[in-house]
Amino acid sequence: MADRLLTVAQVAERLGTWETSGERFPRRLIEERRIAFVKVGRHVRIPESAVDQYIADHTVQPVTVRRAALRRVA
């Protein structure tokens, strides 16, 4: 089954950037070729899997600190 193609507005909403910058952020990702996209005539669509992959690639995991490193040396 083929990926669902999202509009730039849908991607902005999904990334949570709609309220602050509208469509600017996803359009910049497209312009800088930082996310996969499909040209359908003059329209730009982004595969849902590309958005999922972008989110996965840019997710920062928390740092785990060992308890021994927290102890002060007397």
What pLDDT is stored for residue 68 in this prediction?
63
- With a CB cutoff of 8 Å and minimum separation 6, the contacts of 23 are 8, 9, 12
Range of the domain at 37: 5-57
13 occurs within a structural domain: yes
Name the band, by pLDDT with cuts 50, 70 and 90, for residue 74: low
71 occurs within a structural domain: no
51 occurs within a structural domain: yes
> Could you read off the pLDDT of 27-71 as tens digits, one per residue?
999 999 999 999 999 999 999 999 999 999 999 999 887 766 566
C-alpha triplet 49, 37, 4: angle, nearest 5°? 40
74 occurs within a structural domain: no
69 occurs within a structural domain: no
Structure-model confidence comparison of residues 14 and 1, the more confident one? 14
Domain count, the chain: 1
Length of the chain: 74
What pLDDT is stored for residue 21 in this prediction?
83
Give the residue among 60, 43, 52, 41 at the shortest CA–CA distance from 4. 52
pTM of the model: 0.77
70 occurs within a structural domain: no
